[in-house]
Chains A and B, each alone.
Chain A
Amino acid sequence: MTFDFFIPGFIATAVIFGLIKKVSVFDSFTAGAAQGLRTLYSLAPTLVGLIVAVNMFKSSGASDLICGAASPLCEALGFPKEIVPMVILRPVSGGGSTALLTEVYKDCGPDSFAGEVASVLAGSTETTFYAIAVYFGSAGIKKIRHTLFAALAADFTAAVMAAVTVKLILN
């Protein structure tokens, strides 16, 4: 598959660009990598809290109830029902939806249909409410007009397209 070259190719391009621009490539790398570790460090408390909460949610049977309620509609649309809780939480909480994503990986495997759809969904959407709050909040915008509606419509489209693209391209 020619696509296998994309990742190493991207890395090589970045390094060659740096060399041409006479940037100290390795120093840049280590500076960025240190930033990555800091990201991980700041992610840890959120993730521990939310993975425990989501684990409780799953083992209590609450998440089965949601999946069960949504399953007739999902089956009709060819959408994996295991992902429904994640679709609901995705625009509201980044950490929470990441925790649900790990549940899907654990139950179905990352390379299963549900696992791949969940991956695409996680990769192609943002924490909508957070982004709106950060950008408009910091600029003192009180009236957001149709922003939320347009953004949620985009999130919904991403969920539908995640299932469609995985079915057409990966299976």
Chain B
Amino acid sequence: MMNYIFAGIIIISLICAFITGKTQALSEAVVNGASESVKLLMTMAGMLTLWSGIMEVADRGGLTKLLCRILSPVLNLLFKNIDKKSRALKYISMNVSANLLGIGNAATPFGIQAVKELKKLNGESAAASDDMVVFVVMNTASIQLIPTMVAALRQSYGSSRPFSILPCVWISSACALAVGLFIAKIFKSRNKNDL
């Protein structure tokens, strides 16, 4: 997929620059883009490193476990059919907690385990179960308490208040999640009726 996107952007740019006569600007963009991206990485480095450290402290101090406990009533409601003590639900809550803290490196392996467990519960079928759809939609809607990457980027472009966006991020990702779950639920009942 990335191959097509990368190649596509470059080819479209070249064609477009010929049509609009902006070929000189195009070659400047290549030279500037490369050095600019490295500069960006350097300015982001401090904040990204700091937050990875803090999130590790939060994780080892038990904040992830605490989040799991707080989340479990909500998750029990969302995944009614799954046994509360099953490993699937445990992986799901670890995945969601790690996502909330923005520890993507930890969230993904838990998520993969969760889907594998859900597949077992679904009789090893190659089709996604309703619970899997709900779980993956939850992951694509990315609920994150502190979007550190965005804050780091904002700061490196001279924002006077890199974290000001937090309340907006929470509200809009909660709305996105609600819509995603709502659609998953509509399709769920329809599919049940077909059977």
Interface residues of A (CB under 8 A from B): 3, 6-7, 10-11, 13-15, 17-21, 23, 25, 28-33, 35-37, 39-40, 43-44, 47-62, 65, 89, 91-93, 95-96, 98-99, 101-102, 105-106, 109-111, 115-116, 119-126, 128-129, 131-132, 134-136, 138-147, 149-151, 153-155, 157-158, 161-162, 164-166, 169-170
Contact = CB atoms under 8 A, between A and B. Distances in A.
A132 B136 CA distance: 7
A90 B150 CA distance: 14
A126 B140 contact: yes
Contact of A128 (B115, B140, B146, B166): B140
A145 to B, nearest CB: 5
A35 B168 CA distance: 28
Given A33-B49, A132-B140, A158-B172, A106 B157 contact: yes
B165 A53 contact: no
19 contacts: A14-B54, A33-B49, A55-B29, A56-B30, A58-B29, A60-B13, A61-B16, A96-B5, A105-B157, A120-B169, A121-B172, A123-B142, A124-B144, A135-B112, A139-B118, A150-B137, A151-B180, A158-B141, A166-B168
A15 B50 CA distance: 13
Interface of B: 1-2, 5-6, 9-10, 12-14, 16-17, 19-20, 22, 25-26, 28-30, 32-34, 36-38, 40-41, 44-45, 48-63, 66, 105, 108, 111-112, 115-116, 118-119, 126-128, 132-133, 135-137, 139-142, 144-147, 149-150, 153-154, 157-173, 175-181, 183-184, 187, 191
A131 B136 contact: yes
A67 to B, nearest CB: 13
A162 B59 CA distance: 29
A29 B17 contact: no
Tell which of A23, A32, A116, A170 has the most Cβ of chain B within 10 Å. Answer: A32
Tell which of B12, B176, B180, B181 has the most Cβ of chain A within 10 Å. Answer: B176
Contacts of B135: 135
Contacts of B28: 59
A55 B31 CA distance: 10
Contact of B169 (A21, A28, A48, A124): A124
A102 B177 CA distance: 26
B26 A170 contact: no
B65 to A, nearest CB: 10
B183 A7 contact: no
B168 A135 contact: no
Given A59-B17, A121-B172, 10 more contacts: A10-B58, A33-B52, A37-B45, A55-B33, A59-B29, A89-B5, A110-B153, A135-B135, A141-B115, A143-B127
Contacts of A143: 126-128
A17 B62 contact: yes
Given A126-B141, A128-B140, A161 B176 contact: yes
B180 A7 contact: no
Nearest to B9: A53
Given A15-B57, A59-B25, A146 B167 contact: no
A106 B157 CA distance: 7
